[in-house]
């Protein structure tokens, strides 16, 4: 498993979804849940899979109509690292929000 070089907010959203999932997650479900465009989510999933963080498999159900679904699952070895990355970014965002400079003339309550 390789270290991730880019942990963008979109990557964190995808990791958050995968950490919360109890099993494989359909790619379009990740797109819908994260609210990120498929043009961002699928390259992230590809990068995570190439790095060994995620595995994927095509569905075997031939009775379902429509295109085959590809399911993604966070590797067990990556679960702790992914959860830590999500927590780190969330804490960083909280710190940034709380330390924003207030406009002059506004008193604190």
By the 8 A CB rule, do 101 and 55 touch? no
Question: What CATH number has the domain spanning 9-81?
Answer: 1.10.10.10
**pTM of the predicted protein model:** 0.80
By the 8 A CB rule, do 78 and 53 touch? yes
- In the three-class reduction of DSSP (H, G, I as helix; E, B as strand; rest coil), residue 58 is classed as strand
By the 8 A CB rule, do 46 and 90 touch? no
Q: Which of 3-7, 72-76, 82-86 has the lowest mean pLDDT?
A: 3-7
- In the three-class reduction of DSSP (H, G, I as helix; E, B as strand; rest coil), residue 15 is classed as helix
For range 45-70, the mean pLDDT: 92
Separation of CA 48 from chain center: 10
For range 52-61, the mean pLDDT: 93
Domain map (residue ranges) of the chain:
9-81
């Amino acid at each position: 498993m390789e270290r991730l070089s880019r942990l963008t907010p979109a990557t964190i959203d995808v990791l958050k979804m995968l950490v919360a999932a109890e099993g494989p997650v359909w790619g379009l479900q990740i797109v819908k849940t994260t609210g990120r465009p498929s043009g961002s989510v699928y390259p992230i999933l590809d990068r995570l899979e190439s790095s060994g963080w995620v595995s994927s498999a095509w569905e075997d159900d031939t009775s379902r109509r429509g295109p085959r679904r590809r399911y993604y699952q966070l590797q067990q070895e990556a679960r702790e690292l992914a959860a830590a990355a999500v927590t780190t970014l969330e804490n960083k965002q909280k710190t940034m929000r709380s330390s924003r400079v207030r406009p002059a003339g506004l008193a604190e309550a």
